[in-house]
Amino acid sequence: MMTLKQQRDYLSKRYFRLVKIGDRAGAKEVAEQLRQIVAQILRGA
């Protein structure tokens, strides 16, 4: 079982990788949605 901090760190890393991939693919809208979703998750965590 991961602690809350570990979960947040893990999510952050995954999310930044996804955003980088999204930006590179030119999927700005998708990257922005991901950004907002993860920001909400991290705020709520």
Reported as a single tens digit per residue, the pLDDT across 1-45 is 678 888 888 888 888 887 777 666 666 777 788 888 888 888 886
Which residue, chain included where needed, has tokens 């693919």?
25
Distance CA 7, CA 29 (A): 25
Full-prediction pTM beyond 0.85? no
Which residue, chain included where needed, has tokens 């901090």?
5
pLDDT of residue 45: 63
Distance CA 15, CA 9 (A): 10
